Amino acid sequence: MINPEFLLSFLAASFLIAVAPGPSNAFLMAQTFANGRTAGLQSAFGFALGGVVHTFFAVVGLTAILKASAVAYATVQYAGAAYLCYLGIMMLKSTFVTINDDCDDKPHVSTSKKQNVMFQAMMTEVLNPKVALFFIAFIPQFVDPSLSSSTTFQLAFFGLLYPIFAFPIDCTYIYFGDKIASYFRDNPNTQLWIDRITGIVFIALAINLLV
C-alpha cells in the first residue's frame, strides 16, 4: 500500500528532476549525437539498470556507507570520474586513429563500440555517488511509516518507479536529439567532430563528478 498523496508528490518531483539538464542527459545526448538513436536508447536502458542497482543498495542500506564515510564517497567518486575520463579519451583516440589510417580517402566511420553503450551508461550511473545519495536522501522522503506496508517495500517501490518513470523522458531527449544529429551525421567531417565533442563531453562529465 502506497500513500496516494506521497505518490503524486513523488511523480511531480521525479518529472522535474528527469527533465532538468544534468550529467545523465548530457551522456545520453552525446551518445545519440555520436552513434544514433540506438545508442541513445541503450544509454537510457543503462541508466535505468543503474537506478535498479542503486535501489538495491538503498534498500539493503549499503548506500548509507557513502553518506557516512568520506573515504568511501571519495573512492566511488574517483572511480566514476576515472571511468568517464577513460571513455572520453578512447573516443578521442579513435578519431585520430581513423585519420592516421585513412590513406585511401575512405569516409570516416565512428569506431565506438556501440554494443558496450548500455554497460557504459550503467557503470556511469552506478559509479556516481551523487546518484547514490539521491536515492538515499530523496526517496525516503516519500515513505509513510504509518502504512501497513513495510518501509523496505516502499523504498523498493519508489526506487524502482523512478527509472521506469524517467525512461520515457529520456526517450524524448533521444528522439529530438537524433533528429538534430541526423543532419550532421550525413557529413563525414561533421561526424568526426561529433565524436571528438562526445569525447570532450565525457571528460567534462568526469570533472563535474569531482566538483
The 10s digit of each residue's pLDDT in 185-204 is 666 566 667 677 777 877 88
**Mean pLDDT value of segment 95-104:** 53
* CA pseudo-torsion sign 27, 28, 34, 38: positive
- Which of 39-43, 56-60, 148-152 is least confident? 148-152
Q: Which has the higher per-residue pLDDT, 113 or 195? A: 195
- Give the model's pLDDT for residue 140: 79
8 Å CB contact between 195 and 34: yes
Can you give the pTM of this predicted structure? 0.70
Buried b (16+ CB within 10 A) or exposed e, 38-64: ebbbbbbbbbbbbbbbbbebbbeeebe
Quote the percentage of the chain above a pLDDT of 70.
Answer: 82
- Residue 185 class from Cβ within 10 Å (0-12 exposed, 13-18 middle, 19+ buried)? middle
12 Cβ contact partners less than 8 Å away, ≥ 6 residues apart: none
- The grid coordinates listed for 27 are 551522456
Which residue carries 589510417 as its cell?
A: 101
Q: Which has the higher per-residue pLDDT, 45 or 88? A: 45
